[in-house]
Amino acid sequence: MSSRRDFIRKTAIAGTGAALAPKLSFGFDNFAGEKLKLGFIGVGLRGTNHLHNAIFRKDVEITAICDIDSNRIDIALKMLADGRRKKPEIYGKNEKDYLNLLENSDVDAVIIATPWLWHTRMAIDGMKAGKYSAVEVSASQTIEECWDLVNTHEETGTHFMFLENVCFRRDIMAVLNMVKQDVFGELLHFRCGYQHDLRGVKFNNGKDAYGKGVEFGEKGISEAKWRTKHSIYRNGDTYPTHGMGPIATMCDINRGNRFLSMTSHATKAVGLHRYVVNVGGKDHPNAKIKFRQGDIITSTIETANNETIIVTHDTNSPRPYSLGFRVQGANGLWEVDGNRIYLEGHSETNDEWDDATDWLKKYDHPLWQKYGEEATGAGHGGMDYFVMKAFVESAMQKIAPPIDAYDAASWSAITPLSEASIENNGKPQEFPDFTRGQWIKRKPYNWMKSEYNM
Ligand SMILES: NC(=O)c1ccc[n+]([C@@H]2O[C@H](COP(=O)([O-])OP(=O)(O)OC[C@H]3O[C@@H](n4cnc5c(N)ncnc54)[C@H](O)[C@@H]3O)[C@@H](O)[C@H]2O)c1
């Protein structure tokens, strides 16, 4: 995720249809004509980003879209028309109209990109309706919802994919390649998080999604409409998976390893109030609001294989964007900040960092080597191309996706467990074993393959 601004720019262009570059016409190499019939639930900023990437896949037909905001439907329809795609069935006359989309037999699979509180219930309904269901991050907000995802997947036998795009970022996949080739040696410690100044996202002026105004809720648009309330009512890490997902793939969580327990601590809440006062003035009604969410939330997780993972949530203060990755094993470590690697006996100078660039090139993932050029331009530096590719190709064959219901449940569980730990002065919280013991024998997903249709 190079930057939200980049994403906004691309999505805005996609909204006008001007970015429909013919170069981005991808799909199976051996594409034989069969198409995945895809429905979209939620075509806000993120949903239209996925729609943009789906339009360019030869193996996808977009048969239905649903959104309760008719402006977003209009934008999506224009994108489809500009991409010379057939008009899909439209849904969105009320908040439950997505259930009618799920009854449409012309839909094989759905992408859900709605506000967080809808994710689990929509995904569950999707699986119950037999649709291969994919949901945006985060998947679930409570431990009960995490179990609901897993239980519904097991009861229905319908596949579910969690759309954590950062798992497909080029540097992450190169480091994953290094981990799988044992370059770092036995794994010990990881750091990750979501460190992104979202003050201009949590508030806006009701017209522009980002960077202007201090309104939210009914007076805001896009994420300010729903995301900000989580900072008022909840004190915890509400967005853990961009950081946690990539690390979980590296240390095989739910596949030979699992999260055991977690402690979390929160700083005081200063940033959002300060922002409202600075931008809207001390007399603005929102200056009276007391925000619960601490500006910086720090959680430490222990795994069954005796690794530790520090996860940071930092979205209410001025700071440059970073997911703060560190991957450390017995031989050395990679840190994203500073773009640096140190490997004992292999780095140029003893006890000094190597610039990571050449290492990351050397271990570039086969998928990126093959499709990197196509991917560039698909959004978020290309990782959105790969998350869509993984989803479509897995759904076409009705096979398990790289990131499944167990992953979604255990990564998303960080949110309620962090809230419980903070509420109890940092008391350790145990992770439920969402695999019910199966993590011992589940094999790691083969992340190193160069296609998903095999
Ligand atoms: N993976 C990423 O990089 C990334 C980036 C941005 C957002 N996201 C995630 O994507 C999701 C959506 O975010 P966004 O920025 O697009 O938000 P948004 O507010 O712009 O879009 C959400 C859309 O859902 C629609 N909606 C709400 N309730 C609905 C219902 N019951 N039925 C149908 N439509 C409904 C809204 O009208 C809106 O158009 C969030 O979970 C967010 O965290 C992920």
Question: What does the chain come to in residues?
Answer: 454
**Residue closest by Cα to atom 40 of ligand 1:** 115
Task: Tell me, in angstroms, the distance from the centre of ligand 1 to residue 137's CA.
Answer: 10
Ligand 1 pocket, Cβ-based, cut-off 6 angstroms: 1, 41-42, 44-47, 66-69, 72, 92, 95, 98, 113-116, 118, 136-137, 165, 222-223, 225, 380
- What single letter denotes the amino acid at residue 316? N
**Strand order in 89-91's β-sheet?**
89-91, 60-66, 36-41, 109-112, 132-135, 160-162
Determine the distance separating the centroid of ligand 1 and the alpha carbon of 214, expressed in angstroms.
20
Q: Which residues touch 119 (CB under 8 Å, ≥6 apart)? A: 112, 135, 136, 138, 139, 140, 141
- Structure confidence at residue 395 as a pLDDT band (50, 70, 90): very high
| Residue indicated by tokens 């690794």 | 307
Cα-to-centroid distance, 223 and ligand 1 (Å): 7
Smallest Cα–Cα separation from 142: which of 448, 440, 418?
418
Q: Which strands sit side by side in the sheet containing 340-343, from one edge to the other? A: 354-355, 340-343, 332-335, 326-329, 187-195, 308-314, 296-303, 259-266, 429-430
CA distance 118 to 124: 10
Describe the crossing of helices 414-423 and 143-156 by its angle, rounded to 10 degrees. 150
> pLDDT per residue over 245-279, tens digit each?
999 999 999 999 999 999 999 999 999 999 999 99
- Name 134's bridge partners: 111, 161
Nearest partner of 104 among 33, 38, 34, judged by Cα: 38
Residue 14 pLDDT greater than 90, yes or no: no
8 CA distance to ligand 1 middle (Å): 13
The alpha carbons of the chain give a radius of gyration, in whole angstroms, of 21
For a ligand 1 pocket test, name from 41, 43, 67 the mutation site with the most ligand atoms within 8 angstroms of its C-beta: 67
Three-class DSSP labels, 151-168: HHHHHHCCCEEECCHHHH
What is the average per-residue pLDDT within 358-380? 92
Closest CA to 246 of 158, 342, 178, 338: 178
Helix (H) / strand (E) element for 55: namely helix 45-55
Q: Whose CA is nearest to atom 43 of ligand 1?
A: 137
Nearest CA-CA partner of 116 in 11, 200, 207, 233: 233
Counting from 1 in the atom list of ligand 1, the atom nearest the Cα of 225 is: 19
pLDDT (tens digit per residue) in 278-322: 999 999 999 999 999 999 999 999 999 999 999 999 999 999 999
Residue minimizing CA distance to atom 31 of ligand 1: 95
Give the per-residue pLDDT at 95.
Answer: 98
Spatial separation of the C-alpha atoms in residues 135 and 254, rounded to whole Å: 19
Probe residue for ligand 1, chosen from 223, 384, 412 as the CB with the greatest number of ligand atoms within 8 Å: 223
Distance CA 240, CA 232 (A): 18
- pLDDT tier at 18, thresholds 50, 70, 90: very low
Residue 11 has pLDDT above 90, yes or no: no
Query: Which of 7, 97, 114, 208 to mutate to test ligand 1, by most ligand atoms within 8 A of the CB atom?
Result: 114
Nearest atom in ligand 1 to the alpha carbon of residue 98 is: 32
Q: Could you report the per-residue pLDDT of 101-152, keeping only the tens digit for each?
A: 999 999 999 999 999 999 999 999 999 999 999 999 999 999 999 999 999 9
- The reported pLDDT for the residue numbered 34 is 86
pLDDT at 445 over 60: yes
Q: How far is ligand 1, taken at its centre, from the CA of residue 42, in Å?
A: 6
Instruction: Identify whether the C-beta of residue 248 lies closer than 8 Å to the C-beta of residue 240.
Output: no
